[in-house]
Amino acid sequence: MFSRRNVIPALLALLLIALPLVVLFVLVFWPDRVPPDRTRAPEDLKQLCRTVACQWHPWEEIVIHHSGTDSGNLAIIDRYHRERRHWESAGYHFVIGNGTASGDGEIEVGPRWLNQQVGSHCRGRNDKAIGICLIGNFEKSGQRPTLTQMLSLAQLTAYLTLRLGIPVEKVRGHRDMPGAVTLCPGKNFPMNGFIPLLEALRDDYRPR
């Protein structure tokens, strides 16, 4: 049925059909594959930072916030800050989703980070502080950040502190900032568990 002359084109055709199927299978079913919105490997974070076209602002500290709402995402906060507060864009640099209006643990990068503009999130410290907001109301009884949110926050802060030379002591909750009068990021935000996680991840990210 097959002459020898037909075998090679037939094999090539088979390969052309099979190869995309194999690639698709690996992409979809690869056992260690984690959905990209649930993890921030060092390469992903570098990619986030590559999107910044201008010189990095000399940041000195990082302030953690909660949104004080059950749900939300960067677009919702951005609209709220523009329409209600009449700011030019969302006051935070990063927003970490809780699976309601964005992925659980998804890191959204705000325009103020992309343009390296000072934020509007912590009175008196905005010119020095990067603002990261976790979606959720952690002052509300029984509401805590998801584990995936905490991992994303730890990975993002580990990366930023190493990249910018910010000491761990300069990563604080909003209420712990000098002069702050707020409960943010809420009594259920596990600051005592967060700092050891951040320190462990910094060891992982540190170039060897």
Residue nearest Zn ion by beta-carbon distance = 184
Is 129 among the residues that bind Zn ion (CB under 5 A)?
no
What is the side-by-side order of every strand in the sheet holding 104-109? 104-109, 94-98, 129-134, 61-66, 171-173
Q: What pairing do the DSSP bridges indicate for beta strands 61-66 and 104-109? A: unpaired
Tell me the window of 28-36, 100-108, 184-192, 197-205 that interacts with Zn ion (CB under 5 A). Answer: 184-192
Q: Which helix (H) or strand (E) holds 6?
A: helix 4-29
Is 172 among the residues that bind Zn ion (CB under 5 A)?
no
Is 174 among the residues that bind Zn ion (CB under 5 A)?
yes
> How far is CA 2 from each of CA 5, 15, 23, 100, rounded to the nearest angstrom?
8, 17, 29, 58
> Minimum distance between the CB of residue 76 and Zn ion, rounded to whole angstroms?
16
Distance CA 3, CA 190 (A): 71
Of 56-75, binders to Zn ion (CB under 5 A) are: 65
Is 177 among the residues that bind Zn ion (CB under 5 A)?
no
> Minimum distance between the CB of residue 93 and Zn ion, rounded to whole angstroms?
13
Report the residue from 134, 160, 184, 201 that binds Zn ion according to the rule CB under 5 A: 184
Residues that bind Zn ion in the complex, under the rule CB under 5 A: 65, 174, 184
